Structure 1
Amino acid sequence: MKPKFKTKHIIVLILFLLVGYVLTNMFRTKRLTEKEKAFIPYEKNDEIIFESNKSEIDTINITDLTLSEHPPNLGDMFWAKNTEALRVQTNNHCKTCDGLVSLRTENFSFDTNVSWSIRINCKNYVFGTNLASINKLKSTKLVVNGIEYVDVLVLERGERFIRPKDKFSKMFYNGIFPIDRLYWSKSNGIMKFEIIETNEIWTIKNAVHHRK
């Protein structure tokens, strides 16, 4: 009669599998889904012309869309996977900065974060949220340059994005302006954004993608 598989053997086996999973986790990647990637409608060589309510005009050229993997933070390295990011690069010559729009998976969370970093006239206008929050919004209509868009989402800044008012924070955020309201078209991308603090409204001027 064969000896029974004892409880301690089962515990050792579970511990062995757990340790193996932890030690190999850093070699895995939490990837973006194709549906998530489709959130970004831009393509390489798109040109976006913005005009403000103060008669300022600036152009953003999209140079590339990059998909990259990022290792977990040092403190999480034995418990986390690599994360994947899709970034829309522009002609601001800042490869290490967040792109015009960036999607990134998160460890220990089902969220996929979305961030915008719109550099116009030497200022940096930023906004951040996650796809779960965006997917709860209903599309609305927006008329830009006489053209009506029916797939626009209105994203508004929550409390966690409110800029602190103390002097140190103002120094730290010099040249960086949180966007209070961002109008995002599912098919065309950024249509308009508003900054209450500086009384600025930037609207897309060409309203179409240009291919080279």
Structure 2
Amino acid sequence: MSESSSDKISEIISEISRIYGADEWWEADSAEEVMIGAILTQQTRWENVRTAILRLKMHDLCSFSKIRSADPTFIEKLIRPTGYYRQKTRRLKLLAEFVLERHGGMENLVKMETKHLRRELLSVNGVGEETADSILAYGFMRDCIVIDTYTKRIFACAGIISDGDELRRAFEEALPGNPSAKRRIHGHLVEYAKGFCNKSRCEECVIRNLCE
């Protein structure tokens, strides 16, 4: 990555921060809720995830101990708004097994070193890199940047960089040792992409204008 590209990434981060301020993006009641949400958010909009989480909470099912023992068809009914509800129910059950049976509870996961925890999360069927990094960043508050479709889209459109590993390194350079800022910026990039990454609003994009 060239020095000019690195400078542009820092400039984009500054502009995004100016637009959205210092608000946290993903606020949850527990790390378990984040892990559940990270599965539910796969291939759907966040509004649908919020609906499903509220439904789970209404039935006291927003924990792995409850999910493990719950009737799968009932979980499917509650999370149906997120789509792929049968697949996601299986993944939630596997994640519950991972937490409770393989590792003896959340308290043991909290003690793990970040790289080890990431490897363990990636061993669960249905947990890819984006899901694992979301869990690490927002659930366990680790120093981790989430590189997702929205992030790649913005920087590819800006003509800077699109490779996930290069983007990760770029963010590490721009925000070294600042996990809170990484979480915040990722959330703001998601919101920005949702609002501006379409043909009707492309001309309004401040990021596009910064990089011309």
TM-score tier by shorter-chain length is under 0.3
Larger Rg computed on CA atoms: 1
TM-score by length of 1: 0.27
Name the one with the larger helix percent.
2
